[in-house]
A = this chain, B = another copy of it.
Amino acid sequence: MTDKVVGILGGGQLGRMLAASASLLNIKTVILDVGEHGPAKQVVAPLSSHHAHIDGSFSDPAKIKELAAKVDVLTVEIEHVDADALAQAGCAVHPSPSTIKLIQDKFAQKQHLHARGCPISPFISVESTVESIHAAAASLGLPLMLKSRTLAYDGRGNFVLRDISQAQEALTALGNRPLYAEKWVSFTHEIAVMVVRSTSGEVRAYPVVETVHKENICHLVFAPLRSRDTTLSQRAQSVAMDAIKTFDGAGVFGVEMFLMEDGALFINEIAPRPHNSGHYTIEACETSQYENHLRAILSLPLGSTELKVSSCAMLNIIGLSSSMDDIKALTDVALTVPGASTHLYGKSECRKGRKMGHITVVAPSDAQLRSRLRILLAALPSSPIEETDLYAPNPPVPGSGFSNAHPLVGVIMGSDSDLPVMLPAARILDHFEIPYELTIVSAHRTPDRLVEYARSAAPRGLRVVIAGAGGAAHLPGMVAAMTALPVIGVPVKGSSLDGVDSLHSIVQMPRGIPVATVAINNGTNAGLLAVRILAAGNPKLVAAMDAYLKNLETEVLGKVDRLAEVGWEQYKVAK
């Protein structure tokens, strides 16, 4: 490992999680921040007075020098530090002070990204005058996003100019600080990617997440992103990695992006440090953003950024007032939610809008994740998060019936006449307590619905589709052609050919697109096959399937006994 000591500028929650991560690897940290008992200082007890934390501002050049004298590497939990003082600290600093300085000034950051071909929305410089704002509005149109160049976060320092008459109001609200203007982009979603960059310039991207902001504050993060655009994740990771390659220095960087209706991506802004949208990595990824930040700044090998769970969300615990009561109520509920891990930052005072902690929820599927999140949201009566935020960007397909609002299996059939054959599949899923949806999708009579259903299946969180059809029976194969999910086909017996027509139509798929075909009219087996597929990697479901098989055996052995007891002449076959 390493004997190097890390100095952290800033002792809030990011410093706390960074220091806790360092402790796992027995890496020593020293914290610089005002106060003796801030969040980060609580979790590191210095081994000696030489490694004692420093009480002082992370913007004070003298204190930065004092910290640098105690450590081997300096890093930051916040970008609003004195970058010039960092440059003269006299020890290694990551990310580099020039990068921190560049990112501090959002206008300079945009200029940098623009010059290097990174996708950003149009922006221009604005003087702190009404006239200059009018000129910007004339150039970029209304509404116009006015932003403070520096010291802005969580929406502070932003003003949306909807009418040019608001120019003076904007100047007052933004405190006459240096400004710039961005063209208003009507994005459909906000997404983010954490990127880790090593001292040698190697970059690795974490999974793309969807961030749900309300009033400019991030409330909820979903990982991984689900989209019916199968290229989106890879594109977003590339944009993020390309952007981070343009900056000097090592560490993790948060890249926030806007996703447009047409699939285009714009970088919104970049944070040169661990980021709120990466908290989920502690419980959900093979290496957390904090450990990877440490590895990067210490020139250790970067860790895997892969998810280790199927589905994850992170809910910020945001103060509603100066009272801790709401926080307690929420965290009490969180203790009852399976897969929920509560993080409280040890802040001594609560206030409206303050991030007091977060809750990460992991689950074996999107369906279970949403069910678990719902319990938390019910404990947040005044939360701005809405029901639709739980589904975005993948709303349910209209008309589907659900055994549960968050289905894992889609059971579809070409016609209502197939229902008697398909109901046993639903009964099996009920038996194994697997949430499903059930509806009619006709390949020939509702072709648009077929496309919509198949393309949306995976991003909506379905894991398996069971499709039943008779006659020409194109439904299972056509669905399989439009999704990467496993599709189970049930041949339904029609009025002629005894179902052999459907069987051959479903099973004889061309090379490249398989359909998992079960016996004619055997909806039961389709349900059981779906359970076997879902059980791969789910020990509980494997045990349930083992029990089911054992039960089949017991049933037949019961008949063995009855046949021996009653005698074959008297034996009556149960209907």
Chain B CB within 10 Å, residue with most, of A230, A463, A532, A534: A532
Contact residue range for chain A? 35 or more
Give the contacting residue for A362; candidates B23, B24, B286, B524; CB below 8 A. Answer: B286
Stretch of A72-80, A185-193, A501-509 contacting B (4+ beta carbons < 8 Å): A501-509
Check A43 for interface membership: any CB of B closer than 8 A: yes
Check A331 for interface membership: any CB of B closer than 8 A: yes
Contact: A512 with B345, CB < 8 Å? no
Contact: A339 with B458, CB < 8 Å? no
User: Given A516-B517, A543-B233, is A303 in contact with B525 using a C-beta cutoff of 8 Å?
Assistant: no
Q: Output the nearest chain B residue to A549 by Cβ-Cβ distance.
A: B484
In the bound complex, residues from chain B placing their C-beta under 8 Å from that of A24 are 20, 341-344
Check A522 for interface membership: any CB of B closer than 8 A: yes
User: Given A44-B45, A509-B518, is A537 in contact with B364 using a C-beta cutoff of 8 Å?
Assistant: yes
In the bound complex, residues from chain B placing their C-beta under 8 Å from that of A463 are 536-537
Write the nearest CB–CB distance from A357 to chain B, whole angstroms: 8
In the bound complex, residues from chain B placing their C-beta under 8 Å from that of A507 are 503, 507, 517-519
Stretch of A92-100, A307-315, A440-448 contacting B (4+ beta carbons < 8 Å): A307-315
Contact: A464 with B332, CB < 8 Å? no
Give this chain's copy count: 2
1/0 contact string of A10-51 vs chain B (CB within 8 Å): 000000000010011110000000000100011111110000
1/0 contact string of A269-289 vs chain B (CB within 8 Å): 000000000000001001100
1/0 contact string of A312-339 vs chain B (CB within 8 Å): 0000000000000000100110011011
Contact: A304 with B339, CB < 8 Å? yes
Assembled-state Cα–Cα distance A307/B540 (Å): 10
Check A392 for interface membership: any CB of B closer than 8 A: no
In the bound complex, residues from chain B placing their C-beta under 8 Å from that of A224 are 539
Check A494 for interface membership: any CB of B closer than 8 A: no
Contact: A512 with B488, CB < 8 Å? no
Check A140 for interface membership: any CB of B closer than 8 A: no
Check A526 for interface membership: any CB of B closer than 8 A: yes
Check A473 for interface membership: any CB of B closer than 8 A: no
Check A178 for interface membership: any CB of B closer than 8 A: no
Contact: B509 with A464, CB < 8 Å? no
Check A564 for interface membership: any CB of B closer than 8 A: no
Give the contacting residue for A484; candidates B46, B300, B335, B532; CB below 8 A. Answer: B532
Check A234 for interface membership: any CB of B closer than 8 A: yes
Give the contacting residue for A524; candidates B339, B464, B488, B511; CB below 8 A. Answer: B511
Write the nearest CB–CB distance from A568 to chain B, whole angstroms: 21
Contact: B342 with A484, CB < 8 Å? no
Write the nearest CB–CB distance from A199 to chain B, whole angstroms: 14
In the bound complex, residues from chain B placing their C-beta under 8 Å from that of A525 are 509, 511-514
Write the nearest CB–CB distance from A162 to chain B, whole angstroms: 39
1/0 contact string of A402-446 vs chain B (CB within 8 Å): 000000000000000000000000000000000000000000000
Check A115 for interface membership: any CB of B closer than 8 A: no
Check A108 for interface membership: any CB of B closer than 8 A: no
User: Given A328-B1, A486-B533, is A230 in contact with B550 using a C-beta cutoff of 8 Å?
Assistant: yes
Assembled-state Cα–Cα distance A181/B291 (Å): 48
1/0 contact string of A539-552 vs chain B (CB within 8 Å): 11011011111101
Give the contacting residue for A536; candidates B47, B306, B485, B519; CB below 8 A. Answer: B485
Check A9 for interface membership: any CB of B closer than 8 A: no
Check A267 for interface membership: any CB of B closer than 8 A: no
Assembled-state Cα–Cα distance A367/B328 (Å): 43
Check A179 for interface membership: any CB of B closer than 8 A: no
Give the contacting residue for A43; candidates B44, B328, B508, B532; CB below 8 A. Answer: B44
Check A520 for interface membership: any CB of B closer than 8 A: yes
Contact: B44 with A484, CB < 8 Å? no
Contact: A207 with B539, CB < 8 Å? yes
Check A529 for interface membership: any CB of B closer than 8 A: yes
Contact: A45 with B47, CB < 8 Å? no
Q: Output the nearest chain B residue to A482 by Cβ-Cβ distance.
A: B549
Check A104 for interface membership: any CB of B closer than 8 A: no
In the bound complex, residues from chain B placing their C-beta under 8 Å from that of A558 are none
Write the nearest CB–CB distance from A474 to chain B, whole angstroms: 15
Chain B CB within 10 Å, residue with most, of A511, A520, A549: A511
Contact: A540 with B306, CB < 8 Å? yes
In the bound complex, residues from chain B placing their C-beta under 8 Å from that of A511 are 522, 524-525
Q: Please provide the chain A residues from 244 to 268 with a CB less than 8 Å away from any CB of chain B in the complex.
A: none
Q: Please provide the chain A residues from 93 to 121 with a CB less than 8 Å away from any CB of chain B in the complex.
A: none
In the bound complex, residues from chain B placing their C-beta under 8 Å from that of A239 are none
Contact: A308 with B362, CB < 8 Å? yes
- 12 residue pairs A–B, Cβ–Cβ below 8 Å: A24-B342, A24-B344, A224-B539, A233-B539, A308-B309, A308-B364, A364-B537, A464-B536, A512-B548, A512-B552, A515-B518, A516-B516
8 closest Cβ contacts across the A-B interface? A516-B516, A26-B344, A514-B525, A304-B338, A484-B545, A230-B546, A514-B529, A486-B532
List 13 other contacts, CB 8 Å, given A24-B342, A233-B539, A458-B542. A1-B332, A23-B346, A26-B357, A45-B45, A301-B335, A303-B338, A484-B549, A485-B536, A503-B507, A507-B507, A508-B519, A512-B525, A513-B552
